[in-house]
Amino acid sequence: MAEATTTRQPLLTVTDLKQHFPIESGFILKRQIGAVRAVDGISFSVYPGETLGIVGESGCGKSTTIRSIAQLYKPTAGKVMFNGLDLVNASKDELLKARKDIQLIFQDPYASLNPRMTVRQIISEPLTIYSNRKMLQPEMTKEEIETRIEELMERVGLNKAFKNRYPHEFSGGQRQRIGIARALALNPKIILADEPVSALDVSIQSQILNLLNDLQKDLGLTYLFIAHDLAVIEYISTRVAVMYLGIIVELSESRDLYHNPLHPYTKALLSAAPIPDPAIERKRKRIILTGDVPSPIKEHKGCYFYERCPMRMEHCATNIPPLHQVSEGHEVACWLYE
């Protein structure tokens, strides 16, 4: 697999993406007094057919990354290349065309579906929008859209008899399936999934994950998958990126990361995850991080993890470690491995 990824053309390439939210003050003449550096320069590629997982604590900028890639926010800086098109500087029409291939699945199955629409209206919305704009290839008639809806519902495991029901008449897991069906409607190439299972309970989580896995196999989808649950990420991802305070600190093959974590933050993260075997669990040494997560407003001169790092060195305080390759397909941003 490692060779395969290097030889293949990436589907999505993010280069030095930054997303800063300005903090303004003043009444009429607004003055910028700082910025929340939600995403502070990240680069990675996603290859066709793979699943790139992104893990990180709450507030480290995972959702913002996805939203900037999907151009829901205008990125402050950086490039997002999708299929040879730079989405950040694309024209409206180009962007619309590209959007057909990039679909989102959201975290909260309750908030991501319009409560005033029936399931069929929700699922058919992307089709309707593109068919109204005459951008659907091939063009679909009303009946074809109707059959497509039923097909999609069955595909994600919903009873098509419920297509005239409203979201509030479904359970959380079912609602997430509706969201998945909506994302599939336009036959996208890549799906950006923002913690699609974190709001569900564990048994339902595995159902949804299995569904996503099946869909990937059958439809050849590519996923950019966010989670803060390491077990989920391990299960679904081919490669994993670990985020901390708006940057990527480690990026590697999934298996590699779990057996051989390099960055101190990754190590701490992995040691905090519970292990289902009580014997190992008891013996295992935990790394307890000291200090709080620094404010994302702060501008860093050195390593972003410096304040909390158990292995910090003097050098780290003033020099930002770049992400560099340590072994085949394993990159880390830490001076320990220089």
Ligand X SMILES: Nc1ncnc2c1ncn2[C@@H]1O[C@H](COP(=O)(O)OP(=O)(O)OP(=O)(O)O)[C@@H](O)[C@H]1O
Binds 162, which of ligand X, another protein, Mg ion, none (CB < 5 to 8 A, cut-off by type)?
A: another protein
Residue type, 306: Y
Q: Which of 10, 41, 53, 61 binds ligand X (CB under 6 A)?
A: 61
Residue 298: count of CB within 10 angstroms of its CB? 12
Binding status of residue 62 toward another protein by CB under 8 A: no
Comparing CA positions, the residue from 334, 206, 223, 327 lying closest to residue 268 is 334
DSSP state of 302: S
Query: What is the β-pairing status of strands 12-25 and 247-253?
Result: unpaired
Comparing CA positions, the residue from 245, 301, 186 lying closest to residue 38 is 245
Q: Which is nearer to another protein, 58 or 290 (CB)?
A: 58
Both tokens assigned to 62: 């995972």
- Residues that bind ligand X (rule: CB under 6 A) add up to a total of 13
CA–CA gap between residue 223 and residue 20 (Å, rounded): 25
Q: Determine contact, residues 233/262, Cβ cutoff 8 Å.
A: no
Give the contact letters, 276-315, x = binds to ligand X (CB under 6 A), - = no: --------------------x-------------------
Q: What is the dihedral of CA 116, 68, 173, 202, to 10 degrees?
A: -150
Binding status of residue 63 toward Mg ion by CB under 5 A: yes
> Nearest distance from residue 283's CB to Mg ion, in Å?
34
Binding status of residue 159 toward another protein by CB under 8 A: yes
Buried b (16+ CB within 10 A) or exposed e, 182-198: bbbbbebbbbbbbbbbe
Residue 231: count of CB within 10 angstroms of its CB? 14
Interaction with another protein in 123-142: which residues (CB under 8 A)? Answer: 125-126, 129-130, 133, 142
Piece of the chain touching ligand X by CB under 6 A; list 60-68, 148-156, 173-181, 203-211: 60-68
Q: Which is nearer to another protein, 159 or 295 (CB)?
A: 159
User: Which residues sit at the interface with another protein, rule CB under 8 A?
Assistant: 67, 70, 72, 95-96, 99-100, 102-104, 106-108, 111-116, 118-121, 125-126, 129-130, 133, 142, 146, 159-166, 168-169, 179, 182, 186
User: Which residues sit at the interface with ligand X, rule CB under 6 A?
Assistant: 21, 36, 38, 56, 58-64, 228, 296
User: Which residues sit at the interface with Mg ion, rule CB under 5 A?
Assistant: 63
